[in-house]
Amino acid sequence: MKPPDQLSEPPDGRPYHDQPQWRNDFPIDWPQDELVARRDFTKFLVLTSFAFAVGQLWIVFENFFRKRKGQLPVMRIARADAIPVGGSLVFEYPAAHDICLVVRTGPQHYVAFNQKCTHLSCAVVPDVARGRFHCPCHNGSFELETGVPVAGPPRRPLERILLEIRNGDLYAIGREVRA
């Protein structure tokens, strides 16, 4: 005759004392189940709140130090006339793996943005004929000239890369992070 609190057989048929710890923590029978004590629940809440607060502080510190790092590097992208009007070029700025796009929108006019969509970070592609950057993941659209979102789920503008032409060469000289 089984004890009244052990009505069910464990699925592997081994006795209760040979069962792994997790099976004791999540028992099969109700009588073996213990309610989580209020103190344990409070402990859990305090620990998760603490972890959340540490995460927030980390973000604040990171932003603070990023701002203090000062100016971003000046980096040559290409010869300005190497990009045809209506054409675009991918480059990395300010660091490797920060993929950006420069688009020549007119004979003397270039715009550049980080290629990462501000919704869920897919790569946007220029659609110069429609004056947009298009994000294929969820049909998001941004204005080509300003990077402002105009359709789909994105709510924040693309990160603009500041450009300068020196002696016919196109340079990235910084970036403008907008809210």
Chain residues binding ligand FES by CB under 6 A are 117, 119-120, 122, 135, 137-138, 140, 152-154
**Shortest Cβ 119–ligand FES spacing (Å):** 3
Q: Which residue has the closest beta carbon to ligand FES?
A: 140
- C-alpha radius of gyration, the chain, whole number: 28
Contact 124, 141 (CB under 8 A): no
**Shortest Cβ 135–ligand FES spacing (Å):** 3
Strands of the 125-127 sheet, one edge to the other = 125-127, 132-135, 140-143, 149-151
Between residues 120 and 165, which has the closer beta carbon with respect to ligand FES?
Answer: 120
**Shortest Cβ 137–ligand FES spacing (Å):** 4
Between residues 68 and 155, which has the closer beta carbon with respect to ligand FES?
Answer: 155
**Shortest Cβ 49–ligand FES spacing (Å):** 31
Q: Could you write out the three-class secondary structure of 131-179?
A: CEEEECCCCEEEECCCCCEEECCCCCCCCEEEEEEECCEEEEEEEECCC
